Chain A
Amino acid sequence: MSFINYSSREINCKIVYYGPGLGGKTTNLQFIYKKTNPVQKGKLISLATETERTLFFDFLPLALGDIKGFRIRFHLYTVPGQVFYAASRKLILKGVDGVVFVADSQIERMEADIESLEDLKLNLAEQGYELIKLPFTIQYNKRDLPSIAPIEEMNKILNPDGVPWFEAVAINGSGVFETLKNVAKQVLMELKKHY
């Protein structure tokens, strides 16, 4: 649910990074923060536990630039991935304009990926959204690790609808901006369609 302000000529959109615990959602935001020009970004807010696991959410406001005289601002959020923070995940999806699902490519994390994707669909449904109708991008993260599932298999299981997907190593930034750019583009195109 974007916010379009004709007075200040700004368009604000909300993008949520979703996925299983320790999959790299926060790392995505940290890399974006590190690589973005200071004038374009706000503070990266992390509400984390002492062990650096996301407790409530991470938040990064990003002003990318202007289109047709309107400043485009994306508000990037992550959800806590650990299963027991279900209530927080639900809250953060409120008013979402686009979703990035950060999947962990390690074979032993496949179950967690599937569970998290189902959780995403359920939580969206509770608010009247359907994942398939939202701007949605999948990121297959941790492609640098040794025991990873082949992309074809991951696509078969996690991406039956064939939404855009990217391979990534969030820790060194590979695939991070490609993912963001793709979902941002889908969000803006959805806005265009909407009006």
Chain B
Amino acid sequence: MAGSDLIMYEEEFKQIDAELHKLYQQANAKVVFLVDKNGQLIASSGETRDIDTTSLASLTAGNIAATGGIARLLGEKEFTILFHEGERDNIHISLIGQRIILVVVFDQRSSLGLVRLRVKKTSDAIGRIFDSIVGKAEKEKAEGKIEEFPFAEISDEDIDNLFR
């Protein structure tokens, strides 16, 4: 496969979760979530109950991808921040590094200025956590430690059972 898979362990997941929760509170947001550039939801915080976060993640990544396409047509490398203003809710989308998308949904209880300020701080922190995830995965692979991965043991029957 091209590129490496994203592997998230408990420790880093907790750190990310804590950062997202902090952002959710400090930015007075409704929902905050983190998405892989391929459209997979990594983590979320806030009032997620009424939101289809899986679809939102996929569409956000599609949005970032399309905007990236527009940027390249204009000779830009990428547009790193997108903002959509609605009647009730607004959405602030930003790229962290080249791989992760941070999304903040907020309403009139907050402001674009506040969200931008807090997002910047969180982006730095999450960027550092992802650096450590990548470093850890490379180290463990080099040491052959990923053997605990559950898939080493799967059989045809396990897969067939998924479709019953």
Contacts and interface: CB of A to CB of B under 8 A. Distances in A.
Given A42-B55, A59-B58, A127 B1 contact: no
Nearest to A181: B163
A177 B163 contact: yes
A147 interface: no
A42 B162 contact: no
Interface string A29-71: 0000000000000110101000000001101010011011110
Given A67-B159, A97-B1, A188-B159, A195 B151 contact: yes
Interface string B91-130: 0000000000000000000000000000000000000000
Interface stretch (B9-17, B24-32, B77-85): B9-17
A3 B8 contact: yes
A185 to B, nearest CB: 5
Interface stretch (A6-14, A18-26, A159-167): A6-14
A58 to B, nearest CB: 10
Interface stretch (A87-95, A103-111, A114-122): A87-95
B151 A191 contact: yes
Interface in A124-139: 127-129, 133-134
Contact of A61 (B7, B55, B154): B55
B46 interface: no
A194 B8 contact: no
A148 interface: no
A194 B5 contact: yes
A11 B3 CA distance: 17
A170 interface: no
Contacts of B66: 56, 88, 91
A61 B68 CA distance: 24
Contacts of B2: 1, 127-129
B158 A4 contact: no
A57 B62 contact: yes
B110 to A, nearest CB: 27
Nearest to B6: A3
Interface in B18-67: 36-40, 42, 52, 54-55, 58-59, 62, 65-66
B152 A195 contact: yes
A133 B1 CA distance: 7
Interface of B: 1-10, 13-14, 36-40, 42, 52, 54-55, 58-59, 62, 65-66, 68-69, 146-147, 149-154, 156, 158-159, 161-163
20 contacts: A2-B5, A4-B5, A42-B55, A45-B58, A45-B59, A61-B58, A67-B159, A67-B161, A68-B150, A68-B154, A88-B66, A91-B68, A92-B65, A127-B2, A133-B1, A177-B163, A184-B159, A188-B154, A190-B1, A191-B5
Interface of A: 1-8, 11-12, 14, 42-43, 45, 47, 56-57, 59, 61, 64-65, 67-70, 72, 75, 87-88, 90-92, 94-95, 97, 127-129, 133-134, 177, 181, 184-185, 188-192, 194-195
